[in-house]
Structure 1
Amino acid sequence: MSTELRVTDLVTGYGKQEIVHGVSMAARSEEVTCVFGPNGSGKSTVIKAIAGLLPAWSGRLYLGDRELTGLAVHEVVRRGIVMMPQGGGVFPRFTVMENLRMGGYSLRDTSWVEDRIETLIGDYPSLQRRRHVAAGSLSGGEQMMVAIARALVPNPAFVLLDEPSAGLSPALVSETMTRVKGLRERGIGVVMIEQNIREALPIADRLYILAGGHQKFAGTAADIQDDRHLMSLYMGGDQ
């Protein structure tokens, strides 16, 4: 049964500066929802608010029929939403296993975490072989695997990805998108902020485009007429 993550009329920002001006969006489990927009459009600010890293100044956040508004980060994780920061954010001096254990730090019941980690690491043979190696010594692709596996430790309903392709080679960008599709195949909902539109658009079940902190488009890839239409929306033009 599909679960919906909803953002309704969200207003938020940093300090006294309002960045997001009444954005609404919805994402479903078993789907990839992409959020596009130029730098400064409010993309990352929206998912930070969903994750509990920023307060909602107004508006509401829901996972199914449960409200998330005002919850701390660890409470959001317990509800089933995990955020993977830009670049994956591994702890470079920690081993692969220590990084994965960090994925379960906020859980009330950690008795099943080790078994969960063993199951996940079995999906990544290269990590299995290097489980006791410092994560900082891994390749960029392997570090991304660690970050994704760590995000899956709490068995989330949704994973929030903040520009997972940032800084990666073209080959690794393609591999990363394949792994994002793999999350969808696991039944997990993905909300992905991404600058690499050409790579991300083919895997998007639904998409939103933000400009200047406002929502400019909501729909599917099929609703985009052509590249000119897409770029007009991306740069803040009307639908």
Structure 2
Amino acid sequence: MIGPHMASNAALAIVMLREAGYAWERLAAALDGRRIEAAVPGRTQRVSGESGPAVYVDFGHSPDAFEKTLAAVRRITPGRVLMLFGADGDRDTTKRFDMGRTAALGSDILIITDHHPRHENPDDIRAELLTGARAAVSATEILEISPPERAIVEANSRVGDGDAILWAGPGHQDYRDIRGVRVPYSARELARRALAAAGWAPPAPSWVVPYPRDSTPDSDPTRPA
């Protein structure tokens, strides 16, 4: 986990352990001179290997989450930061403008795609996000690519060693909600496959892939061709 906000969470965890009765000496021994690796599935989870771009999949889906996570990724990335995200349908629409604006201000390349459209038209959701992104005073390159299966492939084609991709929104989830149908879906697996297709060597998945590993389902099987 990366970023000052995660450090704050870790500090709170230490306080909770102390309140639960753990001795300071035991906590200090665990922390003294060591780097504690903590991984929470879908929370700024790195799915890439040692070579090529660093690719993170995150569950954040608010302007505040975007700002904090982009700053954290920027701090450890020597090259460019590409952000990829969509927004929930049938949820708070008032934050979409600020989501787009914050994403554009914090990234070098921004790709707006789809998330859970639910019963909304995904084209309309993307349009609202794009309005906010284009209102930002920045030199960020802004693209609109749907579906996300194609968006993550395009994202990988635009980055290289030293760069980073932050895919915000889907996190650990293993489905997309499309007109009430939960379609099997894994952003982590799609990102991993896109890395492999681009010639990088991602690690084997540490998550359950919700569909056969030799296939990727259509993003929206209920949508007319």
Q: Relative CO higher for 1 or 2, CA cutoff 8 Å, sep ≥ 6?
A: 1
Q: TM-score range by the shorter chain?
A: 0.3 to 0.5
Q: Normalising to structure 2: TM-score of the pair?
A: 0.33
Higher strand share: 1
